[in-house]
Structure 1
Amino acid sequence: MNKVRSSAGEAVADLPDGASLAVGGFGLSGIPAVLIDALYEQGATGLEVVSNNCGVDGRGLGVLLAAGRIARVTGSYVGENKEFARQYLGGELEVELTPQGTLAERLRAGGAGIPAFYTPAGVGTQVARGGLPWRYAPDGTVAIASPAKETREFAGRPHVLEHGITTDFALVRAWRGDRHGNLVFRRAAANFNPLAAMAGRITVAEVEQLVEPGELHPDEVHLPGIYVQRVVELTPAEAADKQIEKRTLHA
């Protein structure tokens, strides 16, 4: 039951080339930065990433992206990362854009064992009709486009069929966690982290505070340890290293 690994490097050592990977965080809030850096050092390439966005230039998933380690991204936001936009528009990267709420529910559904679900989000758009550019050709034409999706009416309202997402691995960050893998997320870090953790077949969590089993009251736990296979305790410096995309000051 002790799921703690000695280092982030050990925790991601067996992640292979071509693996699919769900990654928690929103922008730079709650990203598993230490695990991402360890994966960069490990060298896996051809990764298929599912995450709300792809970090920023030089931080988070942006580190892997700039190194050419990511082959495909399923996400809902390209902004704040010029290299992401450059690779996508230049035909170097395949990108499946999906509505943010739909992405969240696809991850949750996959983790809950639900293969697919209907949602009104995207009805009447290219999300449903197909034709969204997944990959561009070097000349700017669309090399791969999204397929049309099944639609069905419920109570007289059309809905789009979306499929749940499961991945080979998941990387997440939590505020507190115990040796059994039970996790507590804090404030804005409780964004995509619980959902990404559910979707991964092997989920690795970096935790700012590691506690012993029994120290977390059951009512505190946001994600039970059944979803988590590996835990990495951060150093105080690693836990305190939290960045934001843009600092806004009020005069």
Structure 2
Amino acid sequence: MDKVTQSAAEAVRDIADHASLAVGGFGLSGVPAVLIEAVRARGVRGLSVVSNNCGVDGEGLGLLLAEGRISRVTGSYIGENKEFARQYLGGELEVELVPQGTLAERLRAGGCGIPAFYTPAGVGTQVADGGLPWRYARDGSVAVRSPAKEVRVFGGRDHVLEYGITTDFALVRAARGDRHGNLVFGKAARNFNPLAAMAGRVTVAEVEELLEPGALDPDSVHVPGVFVQRVVPLTPEQAGAKRVEKRTVRA
């Protein structure tokens, strides 16, 4: 029942080349930065990542991107990560762009054992009709396009078939967690973290505050320990290292 590991390196010890990872976070909020750095230190390559975005240049998943460790990304936002955009447009990276709500539901469905579902999001666009560039060739032409998806009518409205997502591993960051793996996320840092935690076959959580079993109010738990296999307690310095993606202050 005690799922605590003593280091991030130990917690990601079996993540190998070509593994698939669901990673929590939105921008730089709630990003499991310590676990990502541990994956980077392992030197693994060819990773398939499912995450809302890929951090920013030099932070979060941007660290793995910059070293060419990621081969495929399923996400909803390229954002302002210039290296992400460069690799995608340069044919170095395969990218499956998914509507943000659909991505969230695909992760949740995978975690709940639901193989597929229908949604109206994307009907009438290349999301449903196919043709979205997944990978570019070096000369700028499209090498791989998304396939067309099944569309069915429910209640007189078209819906597109989307598949649930499961991954080999999931990396998440929680504000609080106990030794049994029950997790609580802080405010906006909750974002994609619970969904990623559900989708991973082996879920590793870095926690800013480690508590003993019973210390968490069951009604406050966002992810129950049944979804979590490993817990990594952070040092105060690691817990406090939170970069602001865009700092806006008065003149």
Secondary structure of the residue that 1:5 maps to in structure 2? Answer: coil
Once residues 245 and 147 of structure 2 are traced to their aligned partners in structure 1, the CA distance between those partners, rounded to angstroms, is 33
Equivalent position SS for 1:205: strand
Contact 1:28 1:245 in 2 (8 A): yes
**One-letter code of the match for 1:149?**
K
Q: Once the 2 structures are TM-superposed, how far is the Cα of residue 109 of structure 1 from its aligned partner? A: 0.2
State the TM-score, normalizing by the size of structure 2. 0.99
Distance 2:26 2:250 in 1: 23
Once the two structures are TM-superposed, the CA of residue 74 in structure 1 deviates from its matched residue by: 0.1
Distance apart, 1:10 and its partner CA: 0.5
% identical equivalent positions: 78
Tell me which residue corresponds to 1:75.
75
Q: How many matched pairs?
A: 251
Shift in Å, 1:245: 1.4
Q: Deviations over 1:141-188 (max 9, x none)?
A: 000000000000110000000000000000000000000000000101
Shift of 1:20: 0.4
Question: Whole-Å Cα distance in 2 between the matches of residues 164 and 11 of structure 1?
Answer: 26
Q: Within 5 A, what are the aligned runs for 1:123-134?
A: 123-134=123-134
SS of the residue 2:36 aligns to: helix
* 1:22 counterpart residue number: 22
Pairwise CA distance, 1:250: 4.0
Cα shift at 1:219:
0.8
Code of the residue aligned with 1:116 in structure 2: it is: A
Could you say what secondary structure the match of 2:153 adopts?
A: strand
What SS does structure 1 have at the residue aligned with 2:238?
Answer: helix
Matches within 5 A, 1:189-200: 189-200=189-200
TM-score by length of 1: 0.99
Paired position in structure 2 for 1:114: 114
| Residues 1:100 and 2:100 aligned together | yes
Structure 2 runs not aligned, ≥5 long: none
- In the alignment, what sits opposite 1:180? 180
Query: Is residue 2:163 matched to residue 1:163?
Result: yes
Q: Is the 8 A contact 1:129 1:148 kept in 2?
A: yes
The answer to whether 1:247 aligns with 2:238 is no
* Aligned counterpart, 1:87: 87
1:43-70 Cα shifts (integer Å, max 9, x gaps) = 1110000000001000000000000000
How far does residue 130 in structure 1 lie from its aligned partner after superposition?
0.2
Q: Deviations over 1:60-104 (max 9, x none)?
A: 000000000000000000012000000000000000000000000
Structure 1, gaps ≥5 residues long:
none
CA RMSD across the alignment: 0.6
* Runs of 4+ in structure 1 over 3 Å off: none
On the 8 A contact 1:57/1:63 being kept in 2, the answer is: yes
1:235 maps to a residue whose letter is T
Q: Quote the offset at 1:31 in angstroms.
A: 0.2
The one-letter code matched in structure 2 to 1:120 is P
User: Aligned partners of 2:249, 2:166: CA distance in 1, in Å?
Assistant: 40
**Hey, what does 2:211 align to over in structure 1?**
211
CA distance in 1, matches of 2:250, 2:190: 26
Structure 2 counterpart of 1:65, one-letter code:
L
Q: Are 1:45 and 2:37 matched, yes or no?
A: no
2: CA distance between counterparts of 1:203 and 1:182?
A: 12
Alignment of 1:57-68 (within 5 A): 57-68=57-68
Q: Distance in 2 between matches of 1:122 and 1:225?
A: 34
